[in-house]
Structure 1
Amino acid sequence: MSTDMYDQQWLTELESTLTHEYETQTARLTQLTADTGDPAEAHTNAALIIAARQSIEQIAGALRRLAAGRYGDCEKCGTAIPRERLEILPHARFCVPCQQKQNG
Protein backbone atom coordinates (compact mmCIF):
# COMPACT_ATOMS: atom_id res chain seq x y z
CA MET A 1 0.00 0.00 0.00
CA SER A 2 2.07 2.89 -1.29
CA THR A 3 -0.18 5.64 0.04
CA ASP A 4 1.64 5.11 3.36
CA MET A 5 4.78 6.44 1.66
CA TYR A 6 3.25 9.83 0.90
CA ASP A 7 2.23 12.42 3.46
CA GLN A 8 -1.50 12.79 3.99
CA GLN A 9 -1.54 16.52 3.17
CA TRP A 10 -0.03 15.85 -0.26
CA LEU A 11 -2.54 13.08 -0.94
CA THR A 12 -5.46 15.30 0.16
CA GLU A 13 -4.28 18.14 -2.09
CA LEU A 14 -3.75 15.72 -4.94
CA GLU A 15 -7.25 14.32 -4.55
CA SER A 16 -8.68 17.84 -4.58
CA THR A 17 -6.69 18.77 -7.68
CA LEU A 18 -7.67 15.57 -9.50
CA THR A 19 -11.34 16.05 -8.58
CA HIS A 20 -11.27 19.62 -9.91
CA GLU A 21 -9.55 18.48 -13.11
CA TYR A 22 -12.12 15.69 -13.52
CA GLU A 23 -14.95 18.21 -13.24
CA THR A 24 -13.22 20.57 -15.68
CA GLN A 25 -12.66 17.82 -18.27
CA THR A 26 -16.23 16.56 -17.88
CA ALA A 27 -17.59 20.06 -18.54
CA ARG A 28 -15.25 20.37 -21.52
CA LEU A 29 -16.48 17.06 -22.90
CA THR A 30 -20.08 18.22 -22.54
CA GLN A 31 -19.28 21.37 -24.52
CA LEU A 32 -17.41 19.43 -27.19
CA THR A 33 -20.21 16.96 -27.73
CA ALA A 34 -22.78 19.70 -28.21
CA ASP A 35 -23.75 19.75 -31.89
CA THR A 36 -22.55 23.03 -33.42
CA GLY A 37 -23.81 22.10 -36.85
CA ASP A 38 -20.48 23.13 -38.40
CA PRO A 39 -19.08 20.22 -40.45
CA ALA A 40 -15.69 21.95 -40.62
CA GLU A 41 -15.32 21.54 -36.86
CA ALA A 42 -16.32 17.88 -36.81
CA HIS A 43 -12.81 16.44 -37.32
CA THR A 44 -11.19 18.74 -34.77
CA ASN A 45 -13.95 18.15 -32.25
CA ALA A 46 -13.63 14.38 -32.68
CA ALA A 47 -9.94 14.54 -31.73
CA LEU A 48 -10.67 16.83 -28.78
CA ILE A 49 -13.46 14.53 -27.59
CA ILE A 50 -11.12 11.52 -27.66
CA ALA A 51 -8.48 13.46 -25.70
CA ALA A 52 -11.02 14.65 -23.11
CA ARG A 53 -12.41 11.13 -22.63
CA GLN A 54 -8.91 9.72 -22.20
CA SER A 55 -8.06 12.41 -19.67
CA ILE A 56 -11.27 11.73 -17.73
CA GLU A 57 -10.53 8.00 -17.72
CA GLN A 58 -6.98 8.54 -16.44
CA ILE A 59 -8.10 10.94 -13.71
CA ALA A 60 -10.94 8.64 -12.63
CA GLY A 61 -8.47 5.76 -12.39
CA ALA A 62 -6.14 7.80 -10.19
CA LEU A 63 -9.06 8.80 -7.95
CA ARG A 64 -10.14 5.15 -7.65
CA ARG A 65 -6.61 4.11 -6.69
CA LEU A 66 -6.49 6.90 -4.09
CA ALA A 67 -9.81 5.79 -2.59
CA ALA A 68 -8.66 2.16 -2.50
CA GLY A 69 -5.30 3.01 -0.90
CA ARG A 70 -3.40 1.69 -3.92
CA TYR A 71 -2.31 5.04 -5.35
CA GLY A 72 1.37 5.01 -6.20
CA ASP A 73 1.65 1.22 -6.58
CA CYS A 74 2.89 0.06 -9.97
CA GLU A 75 0.12 -2.04 -11.49
CA LYS A 76 2.64 -4.36 -13.10
CA CYS A 77 5.30 -5.09 -10.47
CA GLY A 78 3.74 -3.61 -7.33
CA THR A 79 6.68 -1.40 -6.38
CA ALA A 80 6.13 2.16 -5.25
CA ILE A 81 6.10 4.78 -7.98
CA PRO A 82 8.40 7.65 -6.92
CA ARG A 83 6.56 10.76 -5.76
CA GLU A 84 8.49 12.84 -8.29
CA ARG A 85 6.94 10.82 -11.12
CA LEU A 86 3.46 11.16 -9.62
CA GLU A 87 3.90 14.92 -9.25
CA ILE A 88 4.62 15.15 -12.98
CA LEU A 89 2.16 12.48 -14.07
CA PRO A 90 -0.47 12.10 -11.31
CA HIS A 91 -2.34 9.37 -13.18
CA ALA A 92 0.76 7.19 -13.65
CA ARG A 93 -0.11 3.51 -13.31
CA PHE A 94 3.37 2.06 -13.78
CA CYS A 95 6.88 2.71 -12.49
CA VAL A 96 9.32 3.91 -15.15
CA PRO A 97 10.89 0.49 -15.89
CA CYS A 98 7.47 -1.17 -16.31
CA GLN A 99 6.21 1.75 -18.41
CA GLN A 100 9.24 1.38 -20.69
CA LYS A 101 8.53 -2.34 -21.07
CA GLN A 102 4.88 -1.55 -21.77
CA ASN A 103 5.85 0.90 -24.53
CA GLY A 104 8.23 -1.60 -26.05
Structure 2
Amino acid sequence: MSTDIQGTSDRRWLADLRVTLTDEHAAQTARLTELTADTGDPGEAHTRGALIAATRLSQDRIAAALRRIADGRYGTCDTCGAQIPPERLEVVPHARFCVPCQRKHDG
Protein backbone atom coordinates (compact mmCIF):
# COMPACT_ATOMS: atom_id res chain seq x y z
CA MET A 1 0.00 0.00 0.00
CA SER A 2 2.84 2.43 0.72
CA THR A 3 4.05 1.79 -2.83
CA ASP A 4 0.67 3.00 -4.14
CA ILE A 5 0.85 6.09 -1.94
CA GLN A 6 4.42 6.77 -3.04
CA GLY A 7 3.47 6.18 -6.65
CA THR A 8 0.50 8.54 -6.33
CA SER A 9 2.73 11.12 -4.68
CA ASP A 10 5.30 10.77 -7.46
CA ARG A 11 2.63 11.09 -10.15
CA ARG A 12 1.19 14.18 -8.46
CA TRP A 13 4.66 15.72 -8.17
CA LEU A 14 5.34 14.96 -11.83
CA ALA A 15 1.98 16.41 -12.90
CA ASP A 16 2.66 19.58 -10.89
CA LEU A 17 6.14 19.79 -12.38
CA ARG A 18 4.71 19.41 -15.89
CA VAL A 19 2.37 22.36 -15.25
CA THR A 20 5.22 24.45 -13.82
CA LEU A 21 7.53 23.66 -16.73
CA THR A 22 4.77 24.32 -19.27
CA ASP A 23 4.06 27.70 -17.64
CA GLU A 24 7.78 28.52 -17.60
CA HIS A 25 8.09 27.54 -21.27
CA ALA A 26 5.19 29.89 -22.12
CA ALA A 27 6.84 32.69 -20.12
CA GLN A 28 10.15 32.12 -21.94
CA THR A 29 8.31 32.16 -25.29
CA ALA A 30 6.71 35.50 -24.40
CA ARG A 31 10.09 36.84 -23.30
CA LEU A 32 11.65 35.71 -26.55
CA THR A 33 8.92 37.49 -28.50
CA GLU A 34 9.65 40.70 -26.58
CA LEU A 35 13.40 40.34 -27.02
CA THR A 36 13.19 39.78 -30.76
CA ALA A 37 11.11 42.92 -31.29
CA ASP A 38 13.36 45.44 -33.03
CA THR A 39 13.82 48.47 -30.79
CA GLY A 40 15.90 50.23 -33.41
CA ASP A 41 18.70 50.85 -30.92
CA PRO A 42 21.92 49.34 -32.30
CA GLY A 43 23.57 49.80 -28.88
CA GLU A 44 21.23 47.20 -27.41
CA ALA A 45 21.86 44.60 -30.12
CA HIS A 46 24.71 42.81 -28.32
CA THR A 47 22.92 42.61 -24.98
CA ARG A 48 19.66 41.64 -26.63
CA GLY A 49 21.46 38.93 -28.62
CA ALA A 50 22.89 37.43 -25.42
CA LEU A 51 19.48 37.51 -23.74
CA ILE A 52 17.88 35.86 -26.77
CA ALA A 53 20.48 33.08 -26.74
CA ALA A 54 20.00 32.47 -23.00
CA THR A 55 16.22 32.45 -23.37
CA ARG A 56 16.35 29.98 -26.27
CA LEU A 57 18.66 27.70 -24.27
CA SER A 58 16.24 27.82 -21.33
CA GLN A 59 13.33 27.06 -23.66
CA ASP A 60 15.18 24.10 -25.18
CA ARG A 61 16.03 22.66 -21.76
CA ILE A 62 12.42 23.02 -20.56
CA ALA A 63 11.05 21.45 -23.75
CA ALA A 64 13.49 18.53 -23.40
CA ALA A 65 12.43 17.98 -19.77
CA LEU A 66 8.77 17.98 -20.85
CA ARG A 67 9.59 15.38 -23.53
CA ARG A 68 11.35 13.21 -20.95
CA ILE A 69 8.28 13.44 -18.71
CA ALA A 70 6.02 12.44 -21.61
CA ASP A 71 8.35 9.56 -22.55
CA GLY A 72 8.60 8.31 -18.96
CA ARG A 73 12.35 8.98 -18.86
CA TYR A 74 12.29 12.01 -16.55
CA GLY A 75 14.64 11.69 -13.59
CA THR A 76 16.85 9.07 -15.22
CA CYS A 77 20.44 9.98 -16.13
CA ASP A 78 20.95 10.11 -19.90
CA THR A 79 24.45 8.67 -19.54
CA CYS A 80 24.40 5.92 -16.90
CA GLY A 81 20.66 5.32 -16.45
CA ALA A 82 20.78 5.92 -12.68
CA GLN A 83 17.97 7.77 -10.94
CA ILE A 84 18.71 11.47 -10.54
CA PRO A 85 18.13 12.40 -6.88
CA PRO A 86 14.86 14.30 -6.29
CA GLU A 87 16.82 17.05 -4.52
CA ARG A 88 18.79 17.70 -7.71
CA LEU A 89 15.63 17.73 -9.79
CA GLU A 90 14.04 20.25 -7.45
CA VAL A 91 17.00 22.59 -7.94
CA VAL A 92 17.59 21.80 -11.63
CA PRO A 93 14.28 20.47 -13.01
CA HIS A 94 15.74 20.12 -16.50
CA ALA A 95 18.71 18.01 -15.31
CA ARG A 96 19.64 15.27 -17.78
CA PHE A 97 22.50 13.77 -15.81
CA CYS A 98 23.24 12.61 -12.27
CA VAL A 99 25.93 14.69 -10.55
CA PRO A 100 28.88 12.34 -11.36
CA CYS A 101 27.91 12.16 -15.03
CA GLN A 102 27.29 15.93 -15.14
CA ARG A 103 30.84 16.47 -13.87
CA LYS A 104 32.19 14.19 -16.59
CA HIS A 105 30.04 15.90 -19.20
CA ASP A 106 31.27 19.37 -18.14
CA GLY A 107 34.86 18.12 -18.31
Q: Same fold (TM over 0.5)?
A: yes
1:24-103 superposed matches below 5 A: 24-103=27-106
Rounded to whole Å, the distance in 2 between the matches of 1:103 and 1:65 is 21
Residue in structure 2 matching 1:16, options 19, 34, 37: 19
Instruction: Kindly state the Cα deviation for residue 15 of structure 1 after the two structures are TM-superposed.
Output: 0.3
Instruction: Kindly state the Cα deviation for residue 62 of structure 1 after the two structures are TM-superposed.
Output: 0.1
Task: Calculate the TM-score normalised by the size of structure 1.
Answer: 0.93
- The one-letter code sitting in structure 1 at the alignment partner of 2:27 is T
How many residues are matched? 100
Give ranges in structure 1 of 5+ residues lacking alignment. Answer: none
- The one-letter code sitting in structure 1 at the alignment partner of 2:24 is E
Measured against aligned partners, the alpha-carbon deviations of 1:37-87 in whole angstroms (never above 9, x if no partner) come to 001110110000000000000000000000000000100000100000000
| Aligned Cα root-mean-square deviation (Å) | 1.0
Task: Calculate the TM-score normalised by the size of structure 2.
Answer: 0.91
Structure 1 stretches (4+) deviating beyond 6 angstroms? none
Identity between Structure 1 and Structure 2 (%): 64
